[in-house]
Structure formats: structure tokens, C-alpha cells
């Protein structure tokens, strides 16, 4: 182990309370200061997740399996491509010495693309 690894591990902290994403749709889930952490943003998302778990049990698929329609899969792939392009654009701008205001705008765009990409549905 090198001396850099503990620093990297210390920087990889879990999301703070109130910054979770819905386990079904990926939208932000707001939480209170106490109690169990919420997994879903709405009751409808919780219901859809329950229905999917029951469907998987009936088909004898392993728990944690996510089934996407062709349209959902294509949409997810498009969002992942947009995320990769935003990363590459920011990387190029940094290498070319772009001004800080433009880098901030691009990094904001990157964060927005990442939030869109993390939604499964």
C-alpha cells in the first residue's frame, strides 16, 4: 500500500443524509434528520419496485435483477453516451487551458448529465 491510498479512501465518503437517489427512478430522495433512510421518492416508485420483485420471484430470476424494455435500454445507453461526451469535453477543455468560468459551466453540465444517467427509468 502506498501513502496515497488512505487519502483516496478518506475522500470516498458515502452520500450525506438527504442526497440519496430513488432506488426505482433515480430522482433525488429528500430525507429527514431522523429515522430510517428512504429508498424511494414516491409511493408509486415503491409499488413499482415491489411489483418487479414479485415478477422476478415468479420467473425465478436472481434478486437484484433489473429488467428494462428495449426503449428503456436505448434511453439509458443514450444518457450514458451523453455523460461520456460531457466528460471528454471537460477533459479537453482542461488540457487546452479553458478559462475558469467555462470550466465551471462545463462541470455543471457534466453533473447534470450524470444525474440524468443514474436514472434507470
CA distance 88 to 82: 10
- Dihedral sign from CA coordinates of 12, 111, 91, 78: positive
CA distance 85 to 109: 11
Residue 61 or 102, more confident? 102
Which residue, among 68, 84, 88, 64, has the nearest Cα to 76 in the 3D structure?
68
Q: Compute, in degrees rounded to 10, the torsion defined by CA atoms 22, 19, 8, 93.
A: 90
What pLDDT score was predicted for residue 107?
Answer: 93
What pLDDT score was predicted for residue 19?
Answer: 60
By the 8 A CB rule, do 61 and 110 touch? Answer: no
Instruction: Kindly report, residue by residue over 15-62, the tens digit of the pLDDT.
Output: 444 467 888 888 888 877 788 888 888 899 999 888 888 877 777 777
Range 58-78 burial, b when 16+ CB lie within 10 A, else e: eeeeeeeeeeeeeeeeebbee
What pLDDT score was predicted for residue 8?
Answer: 41
Amino acid at each position: 500500500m502506498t501513502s496515497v491510498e488512505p487519502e483516496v479512501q478518506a475522500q470516498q465518503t458515502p452520500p450525506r443524509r438527504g442526497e440519496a437517489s430513488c432506488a426505482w427512478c433515480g430522482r433525488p430522495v429528500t430525507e429527514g434528520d431522523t429515522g430510517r433512510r428512504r429508498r424511494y421518492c414516491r409511493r408509486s416508485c415503491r409499488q413499482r419496485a415491489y411489483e418487479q420483485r414479485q415478477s422476478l420471484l415468479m420467473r425465478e430470476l436472481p434478486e437484484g435483477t433489473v429488467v428494462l424494455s428495449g426503449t428503456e435500454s436505448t434511453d439509458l445507453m443514450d444518457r450514458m453516451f451523453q455523460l461520456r461526451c460531457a466528460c471528454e469535453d471537460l477533459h479537453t477543455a482542461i488540457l487546452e487551458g479553458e478559462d475558469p468560468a467555462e470550466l465551471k459551466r462545463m462541470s455543471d453540465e457534466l453533473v447534470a448529465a450524470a444525474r440524468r444517467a443514474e436514472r434507470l427509468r
